[in-house]
C-alpha cells in the first residue's frame, strides 16, 4: 500500500507496546530488498568470508535477481559471516520506502551511491528499534517505559527521512542517547534477579571456561565471548547487548529471559536442542541436537 501524500510505499510499523506483530518489520526480508547487504558492505578474506570485497561492489555470488547463488551452501563455501548477518529489516526499508522501489542496478549512479551510504545508517536505527521494542516488554523497566516509547517513536521517525537526511544523520550520537535508556532498563530488569549479579561489561572472555557458570542477571554488554565454553551455563535474566558470541558453546545453556539477544548473535554461536532461548530469537538450523 502506498502513502497517498508521498506516493511511496507505506513502511511496516513497529509495535510500540508489547513487541508483538511489529517485530516482523525488524527482520530482514530478502524478497523485498535489492541485495543491499551483498553490495553496500565490505568484507575481507577470513574465517568468515572466502574472499575480499570492497564496499559498493556486488558480491560475485549475487545473482541478477538480487538473490544469493550459493545461499544453501554458504557455510560450506566459506561464507559463514553471511549466515550470521541480519539487517533488522533495514534492507527492505531502504529499498521499498527510502528509495520507493528503485533498484541500484537500473537507477542513477547517484541513487546507488546514496543507497549504499544510507543502508548502514538505517541498519543501526533498526537495531535500536529492536532493543527499544524489547525493553518495552520488560515489566521491571516500567519507570522508563514512557521515555523508551518516545525514543522508539523518534528512532522510527528518523528511519523515514529522505536519503539526504539519513546520509547526514549522526547515528552515533543518537545511539548514545538511546543507550542511556537501554542501560537504565537493563539495571531495573536485572535488579529483581536473585543472587549475585556479575558485571562483565566489555570483559575479554575469549575462550573462557564458563561451563555451568552462574551468570543469572549478569551484564555481558559488549563482552567478548568468542569460543567461550558456556555449556550448561545459567544466563537467565542476563543482559547480552553487543556481546560477541561467535563460536561460543551454548550447549544446554539456559538463556530464558535473557534480553537484548539478537538473532545474529544466536546464529553465530553453537548450541543444542537442550539450549533454552528467549522467545525473541529462533533456534538456528545448524545447531546440533543433544546426544
**Residue 18, pLDDT above cutoff 70:** no
In 3D space, the residue among 83, 171, 59, 66 whose CA is nearest the CA of residue 122 turns out to be: 171
Region 39-61: mean pLDDT is 92
b (16+ CB within 10 A) / e for 55-73: eeebbebbeeebebebeee
> Considering the entire predicted model, what is its pTM?
0.88
CA–CA separation, 132 vs 145, rounded Å? 9
* CA geometry: angle 218, 134, 141, nearest 5 deg: 65
> What pLDDT score does 141 carry?
96
CA distance 193 to 279: 19
121-167, pLDDT tens digit by residue?
A: 999 999 999 999 999 999 999 999 999 999 999 999 999 999 999 99
Task: Specify whether the CB–CB gap between 245 and 284 falls below 8 A.
Answer: no
Question: For position 106, what pLDDT does the model report?
Answer: 86
Q: Is residue 5's pLDDT more than 90?
A: no
**pLDDT on residue 22:** 63
DSSP string, 171-202: HHHHHHHHHHHHHHHHHHHHTTS-S---B-TT
pLDDT band for position 286 (cuts 50, 70, 90): confident
The predicted structure's pLDDT at residue 170: 97
Average pLDDT of the segment spanning 259-288:
93
Only one residue has cell 532498563, namely 185
Q: What is the mean pLDDT of the chain?
A: 89
Mean predicted confidence (pLDDT) in 41-47: 91
Confidence band of 6 (pLDDT split at 50, 70, 90)? very low
Q: Measure the CA dihedral 176/178/184/186, to 10°.
A: -100
Helices (H), 4-99: 37-40, 80-83, 90-92
pLDDT confidence band for 25 (50 / 70 / 90): confident
Amino acid at each position: 500500500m502506498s502513502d497517498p501524500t508521498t506516493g511511496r510505499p507505506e513502511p511496516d510499523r513497529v509495535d510500540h507496546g508489547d513487541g508483538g506483530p511489529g517485530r516482523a518489520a525488524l527482520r530482514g526480508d530478502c524478497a523485498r530488498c535489492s541485495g543491499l547487504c551483498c553490495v553496500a558492505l565490505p568484507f575481507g578474506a577470513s574465517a568468515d568470508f572466502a574472499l575480499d570485497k570492497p564496499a559498493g561492489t556486488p558480491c560475485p555470488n549475487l545473482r541478477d535477481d538480487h538473490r544469493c547463488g550459493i545461499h544453501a551452501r554458504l557455510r560450506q563455501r566459506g561464507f559463514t559471516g553471511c549466515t550470521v548477518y541480519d539487517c533488522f529489516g533495514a534492507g527492505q526499508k531502504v529499498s521499498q520506502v527510502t528509495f520507493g522501489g528503485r533498484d541500484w542496478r537500473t537507477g542513477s549512479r547517484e541513487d546507488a551511491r546514496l543507497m549504499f551510504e544510507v543502508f548502514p545508517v538505517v541498519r543501526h536505527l533498526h537495531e535500536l528499534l529492536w532493543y527499544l521494542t524489547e525493553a518495552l516488554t520488560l515489566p521491571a523497566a516500567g519507570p522508563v517505559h514512557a521515555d523508551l516509547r518516545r525514543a522508539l517513536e523518534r528512532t522510527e521517525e528518523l528511519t523515514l527521512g529522505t536519503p539526504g537526511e539519513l546520509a547526514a544523520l549522526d547515528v552515533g550520537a543518537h545511539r548514545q542517547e538511546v543507550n542511556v535508556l537501554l542501560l537504565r532498563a537493563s539495571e531495573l530488569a536485572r535488579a529483581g534477579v536473585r543472587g549475585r549479579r556479575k558485571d562483565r561489561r566489555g570483559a575479554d572472555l575469549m575462550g573462557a571456561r564458563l561451563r555451568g557458570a552462574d551468570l543469572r542477571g549478569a551484564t555481558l554488554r559488549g563482552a567478548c565471548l568468542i569460543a567461550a565454553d558456556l555449556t550448561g551455563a545459567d544466563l537467565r535474566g542476563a543482559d547480552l547487548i553487543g556481546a560477541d558470541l561467535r563460536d561460543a558453546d551454548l550447549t544446554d545453556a539456559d538463556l530464558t529471559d535473557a534480553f537484548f539477544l539478537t538473532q545474529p548473535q544466536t546464529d553465530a554461536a553453537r548450541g543444542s536442542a537442550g539450549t533454552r532461548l528467549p522467545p525473541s530469537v529462533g533456534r538456528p538450523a545448524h545447531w546440533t541436537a543433544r546426544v
